[in-house]
Structure 1
Amino acid sequence: MLVTGGLQEENVKCFSHTMSSIHDLPCEMLRSVFENVNSQDVPMLRTVCSMFNSVIKSNYCFLPRVAYLVKIFSENGRIMIANMKSGDLNECTQNLFEFDFKHWREIGIVELEFENIRDCESETVDQAITLVLNEMIKTKQCQLRKLTFTNVELSNKAAAVTQGLLDAALKQCENVTVENSILPISFQPESLNSAKFDHFRWISSTGSSPLPSTQILKKLQNDMKAAVNKRSFLAEMDSVTVEAACDFLEEWLRLPIASFFNLSFHNCDDTWKTRFLMECERRGLTHNYMEFQSRTHTNAHVKVSFSQDARTCCIWPVLDVPARTTGQSVCYARYFRDF
């Protein structure tokens, strides 16, 4: 035992003598250390010494990277790109095809926006979408949290690339927004089931196939049911079936965890409203002035509001006492809650 202990002590002394500083660590161990560093400190570490710079430069794709917002848009018939740090108002704008994408190795794209791309040649737009997707794959972008298409029109020639971009985003994004756009994409059941988004917005837009709004609402419903802690779910879509809306409402009313959500459905006319109320009655979903009380929380309710002018139906929870009870027309103490 004494001999063994002596050998161990000697080995420790030998190791301590050999590894006298962090600079003596192998590159693999340095990379493991840098993986736990704050993203803002990684660029500063490159200035410490040439060894640190070399390790970080060759492993940047695997290290925490500074969060950036990237915007792709058209200007005078050209496709432009704007890069900016998340939360920074200053942006660097230049022609997309002249942009040095090596910069993307050192940043983490958390938001990717395509805006106002309509006045360009379809071939140029297709090349731009292909370039962006390829560079995101090449630089191993894995921090994407939000994907947005606003006023974008893409031809069927870009279908494969656009579909690839959407499928990649569904694996990472918490927020997917498509507004006033024409995109050659479709939502596959397997992609939706494994998607991570909890904020979804699809307004005045079309795809290769109709939007599976019912399936998307069902996905949010299942995520809410499986959530251990409270989560927020926001969805806005052009239309949804009465049955799907009632399914979501019924699920929330019986859950032990009262998650917050905000649902907005467009194209809900008087016929939709009548069918919704009939379906609620058929299922035994009673309400007072369009407020549905939770079956597990005394002070939790769901408020349903219809706007006839905008033809929209909004549904959201209220986690307190009801604004009005049976026989009471207005609760003045809670007046501003509804209006």
Structure 2
Amino acid sequence: MSMHQLPSEMLRSVFQNVNSQDIPKLRSVCQMFNSVIKENYCYLPRVAYLVKIYSVNGEIMIANMKSGDINGSTQNLFDFDFNHWREIGIVELEFEIINECDSIKVAKAFTLILREMIRTRQSQLRKMVFTNVRLSADVATEVKQLFDIALYQCENVTVENSNLPISFHSDSLKSAKFDHFRWISSTGSKTLPSDIILRKLQNDMKNAVNKRSFLAEMDSVSVEAACDFVEEWLRLPVASFFNLSFHNCDETWKTRFLEECERRHLTHNYMEFQSRTHTNSHVKISFSQDASTCCIWPVFDVPARTTGQSVCYARYFRDF
């Protein structure tokens, strides 16, 4: 039996196992292949794309480019043919410098983007970024739904210098997939639940949900939550690499942190806390008085000489 005699459902199953780069090539094989792919693009592997939404002189623009490419197509958002999204998989969605546009236009833009994300079945999203974005409560519903998508799909969620009409719920945070989270100089309709986010990362680390490295950078976190995280890492037999940065940690915060460590019997040597399961593993904590920042990361000592020689240790940690 020829492939051309197979039912379209079976052909779709075959095409689902094809590399995303080869799907467009298959369309040129014959009219039947083209028809099946065109009708089922949303269910097939799609070429990874980065999409950026930004404003220029009050107009909202959209830039589409293949992941890894520098150049791409750029045009007015409301003139863009969103049928193109059926053929691509958006892996990164960025919003930049949307703060001086007409509120009605912004509302229409977010409504359009959300609708097309759903219509074209975008399920490959791995990163969502908001930078210098100021949004009113008029788009609260749309932005919340976009964030729900991000929390469900994304490994990286970044919000910087932005004002977003959103709030985070503990249930959605517990099931979120992100392992890189940044919320810097930004506000929402409610205060960011920094402690819950840190405990989510702590729980993922404890249950080996996150088998790679992770990072978090937030405007603030409580002393208790920071101590809980350090204490958990110190007793785990296998723990992830990480890099944590907390802002607004002044001298008062530092004093309270050290007092809490003493209360919990978390001893340290020059702000290095030794693992309770690995002799040469430590958690390093550094305070920057100028920036009022607390940084926490793991440090490991590894032998730098062979057995039989005087032991010399080299230090290393995972950077991001």
Where on the TM-score scale, by shorter chain, does this alignment land: which range?
Answer: over 0.9
1:313/1:190 Cα in 2 relative to 1: closer, same or farther (>3 Å)?
same
Partner of 2:291: 310
1:213 aligns with 2:202: no
Work out which of the residue numbers 66, 69, 74 in structure 1 matches 2:47. Answer: 66
1:1-339 paired onto structure 2 within 5 Å: 19=1, 21-227=2-208, 230-320=211-301
* 8 Å CA contact 1:255, 1:296 repeated in 2: yes
Q: Using the TM superposition, give the Cα deviation of residue 256 of structure 1 relative to its aligned residue in structure 2, in angstroms.
A: 1.2
Matched residue type, 1:313: C
* 8 Å CA contact 1:258, 1:300 repeated in 2: no
**C-alpha separation between the residues in 1 aligned to 2:240 and 2:300?**
10
1:228/1:206 Cα in 2 relative to 1: closer, same or farther (>3 Å)?
closer
What is the SS of the residue equivalent to 2:32? helix
What is the SS of the residue equivalent to 1:250? helix
Q: Using the TM superposition, give the Cα deviation of residue 320 of structure 1 relative to its aligned residue in structure 2, in angstroms.
A: 2.0
**C-alpha separation between the residues in 2 aligned to 1:67 and 1:332?**
43
Q: Using the TM superposition, give the Cα deviation of residue 230 of structure 1 relative to its aligned residue in structure 2, in angstroms.
A: 3.5
Unmatched segments (≥5 aa) in structure 1: 1-18, 323-330
Partner of 1:12: none
Q: Using the TM superposition, give the Cα deviation of residue 88 of structure 1 relative to its aligned residue in structure 2, in angstroms.
A: 0.3
**Which range moved further: 293-302 or 86-95?**
293-302
**C-alpha separation between the residues in 1 aligned to 2:316 and 2:292?**
23
Structure showing the higher helix proportion among its residues: 1
Q: Using the TM superposition, give the Cα deviation of residue 119 of structure 1 relative to its aligned residue in structure 2, in angstroms.
A: 1.4
Matched residue type, 2:242: F
What is the SS of the residue equivalent to 1:102? helix
Matched residue type, 2:88: I
Partner of 1:6: none
* 8 Å CA contact 2:298, 2:317 repeated in 1: no
Over alpha carbons, which structure has the higher Rg? 1
Q: Using the TM superposition, give the Cα deviation of residue 165 of structure 1 relative to its aligned residue in structure 2, in angstroms.
A: 0.7
* 8 Å CA contact 1:230, 1:260 repeated in 2: no
What is the SS of the residue equivalent to 2:122? coil
* 8 Å CA contact 1:300, 1:321 repeated in 2: no
1:32/1:275 Cα in 2 relative to 1: closer, same or farther (>3 Å)?
same
**C-alpha separation between the residues in 1 aligned to 2:183 and 2:70?**
27
Q: Using the TM superposition, give the Cα deviation of residue 332 of structure 1 relative to its aligned residue in structure 2, in angstroms.
A: 11
- The two structures, once aligned, show a CA RMSD in angstroms of 1.8
Count residues in correspondence: 310
1:53/1:336 Cα in 2 relative to 1: closer, same or farther (>3 Å)?
closer
What is the SS of the residue equivalent to 2:301? coil
Unmatched segments (≥5 aa) in structure 2: 304-311
1:121-145 alpha-carbon deviations (Å, 9 max, x no partner): 1111111111100000000000000
* 8 Å CA contact 2:46, 2:87 repeated in 1: yes
Matched residue type, 1:246: C
TM-score by length of 1: 0.89
What is the SS of the residue equivalent to 1:171? helix
